[in-house]
Amino acid sequence: MKAVASFGIVNADTSGPGAFLRAAKWYWDDLTDMVAAAGFRSIMIPMVPNTENVSRNGAPICTASIRTHFGSLSGYLHYLNDKGIDNVEVITISAQAQYNSLFETGKPIEEFYNEFYLHAKDVMEALIELKGSTLLVSPTPGIGFLNQIFQGNQEKLDGFCEEAAACMNRIGQKAKEMGINFAIKNEYWTMMRGANIDAFMEKVDRELVSYTPDPAHLFIAGTDPIAYFNRYASQMKVAYFTDTKFVDKTDAYRSISPEFPQDGDMQRVYYDLGNGQMDFATMYAKLKEVGFDGPVVLDCKYATDIPKAVLRTRTFWTKLEKGYLQREGKS
């Protein structure tokens, strides 16, 4: 398996503390140095659609911003190589980020999935230049946003889900042509919430679209992460490790700020790897059992202390590997 450090460790979307720092190139230079110093040779970047504002941002979170600050995708790869990082192994994109961009681009919802496909195609072209292997996609925006658009009309919501499936097949076909691995993942606040992923996987072409369980999001939705690793491990192209102990007591998943609950006694959704309640030892063992040898994205999502979280990520992976070898009597 190949450990991949996630740049999702930084929340590049909100206007919370440190937002102006996160818009500076030097901030991401420092993060890149830290990730390399912790011994990671590959990274994952959560990318958003190209818009005028994001393109000027110092964060390497869209293809336009990378070209703005590094001249080209190959220029960014050369920069990473100089820092000690070999490649961008995985890029993630989300329909929620695509939805957010509608406010800037003015595109109507009727054009949503065509725009999302174009975004995916742009990112896959970048992946090839960045020597990466895998595109990972969250297929729908949040339930709260969709309920606003369609006013809770189930027929329209179902139709939107069908469009999502068709788009995933279209992306999957293009990924196959380009030699890119393609997978979708669940989030606890989208139409792929929890066990809903099973019905969605019946709508897509399984030859083109694989599924990667997101353990934290499954847990929050009340779905057993281990059961889903066991069910889907043999078809996984990429593994994705996230951690949590959050319990959604207030139905935050229905809101338009599900990752930042405003009510209840639990308001922190994500935890650094190893600090939540996920059974990663069992997940890791399952991946070994099925002969998985792909990238494992290690995501301390939206960490509150970035340097510490980078070190925790390395410690987490070292202990996980060592623990498996000890249990198997190999060390």
User: Higher pLDDT residue, 127 or 265?
Assistant: 127
Is the confidence at residue 210, as pLDDT, over 80? yes
pLDDT higher than 80, residue 296 = yes
Q: 182, 191, 171: which is closest to 90 by C-alpha?
A: 182
Cα–Cα distance for residue pair 183/175, rounded to 1 Å:
10
The set of residues, in sequence order, having a beta carbon less than 8 Å from that of 148 and lying 6+ positions away, is: 256
Please give the share of the chain, as a percent, with pLDDT higher than 90. 81
Tokens 């600050």, located at residue: 69
Q: Minimal CA–CA distance to 188: which of 151, 228, 155?
A: 228
What is the Cα–Cα distance from 214 to 172, expressed in whole angstroms?
19
- pTM of the predicted structure, to 2 decimals: 0.94
| pLDDT score at 15 | 54
Determine which of 53-62, 120-129, 213-222 has the lowest per-residue pLDDT on average.
Answer: 53-62
Under the banding of pLDDT at 50, 70 and 90, the label for residue 17 is low
The predicted pLDDT at position 175 comes to 98
Give start and end residues of each alpha helix (H) in 106-244: 112-129, 143-150, 154-178, 196-203, 215-220, 225-232
pLDDT score recorded for residue 19: 66
What local confidence, expressed as pLDDT, does residue 309 receive?
Answer: 96
> Which residue range is the domain that position 259 belongs to?
2-327
Q: How many CB atoms lie within 10 A of CB 114?
A: 13
Residue 308 has pLDDT above 90, yes or no: yes
Q: Structural domain tally of the chain? A: 1
- Give me the pLDDT at residue 12, please: 83
pLDDT one-digit tens code per residue, 41-78:
999 999 999 988 788 888 999 999 999 999 999 999 99
Residue 18: predicted pLDDT: 64
> What are the C-alpha distances in Å from 268 to residues 198, 245, 252?
27, 9, 12
pLDDT score of 259 = 87
Distance, in Å, from the CA atom of 175 to the CA atom of 187, rounded to the nearest integer, reads 22
pLDDT at residue 219 greater than cutoff 60: yes
Judge whether residue 265 has pLDDT over 80.
no
The CATH number linked to 204 is 3.20.20.150
pLDDT tens digits along 195-205: 999 999 999 99
